[in-house]
Every structure is written in C-alpha cells, then in structure tokens.
Amino acid sequence: MEPGGLRTVISLFRDGQYVHPVLLKFFMSDRMGFGFPAEPQYLDVWAGLVPPDFDGEWLVLPYGVDYAKSMALWRRAIELGGHVRVGVGDSPAVVDGFLPTNAERVAQMAAIARDMGREVATLTDVRERFATALVPA
C-alpha cells in the first residue's frame, strides 16, 4: 500500500527472508489516504521500484476507483508485464447501465491481455509458479 513497504519487501527478498516467488499487490485508490493516486503514471513508479532480478509477480488492484480509471490501470499493468486483480467487490463500477459480474470482468481482462500479446495463466501455471512458496521451509 505504500512505497516504503515495497522497499522493505525487496530488502527482505535480497536478504533471503522470503520464500520465492513473492506476489506483490499494488493497491491504488482515490478514496483512501494511502499509497499513490489511482493513475497510470503512479503505477509506473510502483513497477519501476521492482528490480529486474526480483523473483516474483506483481498486480494492480484499483480499490473503489471508477471504471475509467480502473481500466486505465489494468491496461497499464498488462502493458508493463504485470497482472490485474478484478472484482466487483473492489471496484463496483456500473458500465453502460449494468454492473458486470466477476466472470465478465475476468473475460474482459483476458481479452485485453491477449490483444496486447499476453497469454492468460492457467490455474496449473499459477500453481507451478508459486509451488515453492506453498511449501513450508
């Protein structure tokens, strides 16, 4: 939620304090008093703080953000090589007079990712990527 928290995680990663890989969640909101504003240029800052050798993945989570801003953040995350978290519980935005279901929102993000040349991870892909993080050290 705060840049200092990310810097601490990276420091602990470098010291071997985390089981690899690590999942980073960048919460962005205009309603809450934490972190950066929910705008793509600030997502660039979050992503820029993650070193190239970091063994992990990151995602953006627009929280309570209107649909247009959420969409801009989701698109930018996909462009930067990150991931997205979507759900009507986080961003209950009405679009063209209706509230999309979680499944509809996921399908929309998958289509956007594919249009940008990114493939969507399967459940097996995710389990394999994070398998070492699930086993106690």
Domain carrying residue 71? 3-134
- Give the 3-state secondary structure of residue 62: strand
CATH number at residue 47: 3.20.20.70
Task: Band the pLDDT of 62: cuts 50, 70, 90.
Answer: confident
Nearest CA-CA partner of 86 in 58, 56, 61: 61
Number of domains in the chain: 1
Quote the pLDDT of residue 88. Answer: 65
pLDDT in tens, 108-133: 899 999 999 999 998 899 889 888 65
What is the per-residue pLDDT across 30-60, written as a single tens digit (0 to 9) for each?
Answer: 888 778 889 999 999 999 999 999 999 999 9
CB atoms closer than 10 angstroms to residue 113: 20
Q: Considering only 30-34, 76-80, 97-101, 109-113, which range has the smallest mean pLDDT?
A: 97-101
Tell me the average pLDDT of the chain: 85
Q: Which of 77-81, 94-98, 129-133 has the least mean pLDDT?
A: 94-98
Contact 63, 28 (CB under 8 A): yes
Write the Ramachandran bin of 35: left for phi over 0, alpha for psi from -120 to 50, otherwise beta.
left
Q: Encode burial over 12-46: b for 16+ CB neighbours within 10 A, e otherwise.
A: ebeeeebeebbebebbbbeeeeebbebebebbeeb
